[in-house]
Amino acid sequence: MYDDLTGINMTDARHGWRKNAKDSSIVAIEQIHKVLKCEHITKSDDSVSQRHEKLGTQRIYHYLEEQDVQDNVHSHDRNLSINKLVKDKGLITNQNDPWHAIKRVKVAMKRVSAGPNYLKEKSWSAQLEDKVESVATHFHWAVRNCKENPKELKDVLLNIVEQHYKNNHQKCSRSVILIHDVNVIQITNLSG
């Protein structure tokens, strides 16, 4: 039924309120974005909404085991109880979805890239105003392409400031440079 399953993304959506949601949906998605299983957890299942994601994840794992499905990688938001659950299962690589971490990078950058005029160049810089989204994109690219090598990830992230924004693309990936060149050509064609 699920041949060559190498990774599952599990995501939760809280309904109603963020922290004390009345119910949550936990969805298991295969790498090709095929929904494998969805569990809807309500307050009648567990009165404590913070445990909904763990309960839904446990039910999904039970279902996958019944289907004789082996999962090698579990990717999810940074929920510590899920980290422990996956670690306790063993033989599964636990990955926290980078979206949440990168969202925090964007929030931090917005604090220093915009603000009232009287604080301009004191607590925020106009030079960073247009960089928030491109830095987030660079972070996403770096995480996807670092081959799980922490040093490579650090080097690519530092490259944003050290080289990329100084228009020195010597250390940039050839694929990114080609995409950049195509975008320049497209922009040139649009303006000319």
pLDDT band at 183 (very low <50, low <70, confident <90, very high): very low
- What residues have CB less than 8 Å from 169, skipping those under 6 apart? 163, 176, 177, 180
Domains in the chain: ranges and CATH: 8-96 (3.30.420), 98-191 (no CATH)
Q: Report d(CA 110, CA 123) in Å as an integer.
A: 11
Cα 54 from Cα 45, distance rounded (Å): 12
Which stretch, 2-11, 35-44, 162-171, has highest mean pLDDT?
35-44
Local confidence band at 179 (pLDDT 50, 70, 90 cut-offs): very low
pLDDT by residue (tens digit) across 155-164?
888 888 777 6
pTM as predicted: 0.61
